[in-house]
Amino acid sequence: MSHDDFAFEPVPGLPERPPAGERVLWQGRPDTWTLAREAFRIHWITGYFVVIVAWRAGVGAAEAGLAGAFAFGLPYLGLAVAAFAVIYALAWVQARATVYTITTARVAMRIGAALQVTLNLPFRQIANADLDLRKGGTGTIALETLGETKFSYLVLWPHCRPGHVRVTKPALRCIPDAQAVAALLAEAAETRVSQPVITRAEPATEGAAIAAE
């Protein structure tokens, strides 16, 4: 029987239902292969093992010909395949546990495979958004926040702008069709921020009214 670990969420990716007037505009998660490549550096690790396998196979071939090449290289080839599988599995788990949400009022990020964290970023607290677009349409949207809010790089990783450790910036990482998502985010944020903030003033007490007279 299948089981959804996040079935307790009233809305997938959100800890509670949006308040009246707030609508979900978009939801998505990282592309697994792109996340494995950009965050987990799977191509670098694969390249490293390819060099090791070629070196060991070359040593074996020099000592015992083709049979030696297989004998020396095959164990390292097995390690390379295992490393590739583990790294890809880690990226898949991270992508599967992640839900990015854009509403008419905020950006929400449900992240974390072992320790789940939900980050809410109202548009009025976002100073800037930077799009890093890659081939194939995937990309990362990094968010710069206002105020003194600090984020832990270790807690957010890999859902943060790469290399920015001192000032950690939350990011919608490796999402498909990133340019369209960035345009939607910009439009929603501009619409929200341009709306006036109306506060309800408390009525003056009778004593205060008399004193004013």
Position 134 in a domain: yes
pLDDT in tens, 137-166: 999 999 999 877 788 888 899 999 988 888
At residue 11's C-alpha, the angle toward residues 9 and 15, to 5°, is 50
Answer yes or no: do 103 and 150 share one domain: yes
Answer yes or no: do 110 and 179 share one domain: yes
Position 15 in a domain: no
CATH number, domain containing residue 154? 2.30.29
Q: Domain tally for the chain?
A: 2
Are 39 and 160 spatial neighbours (Cβ–Cβ below 8 Å)? no
Q: How confident is the model at residue 3 (pLDDT cuts 50, 70, 90)?
A: very low
Q: Average pLDDT of the chain?
A: 85
Answer yes or no: do 43 and 142 share one domain: no
The 8-class DSSP code of residue 81 comes to: H
Answer yes or no: do 72 and 104 share one domain: no
Answer yes or no: do 176 and 115 share one domain: yes
Residue-range definition of the domain harbouring residue 70: 38-93
Q: Which amino acid type is present at position 163?
A: G
Other residues' Cβ atoms within 10 Å of the Cβ of residue 155:
14
Residue 22 has pLDDT above 50, yes or no: yes
Structure tokens at 180: 């369209």
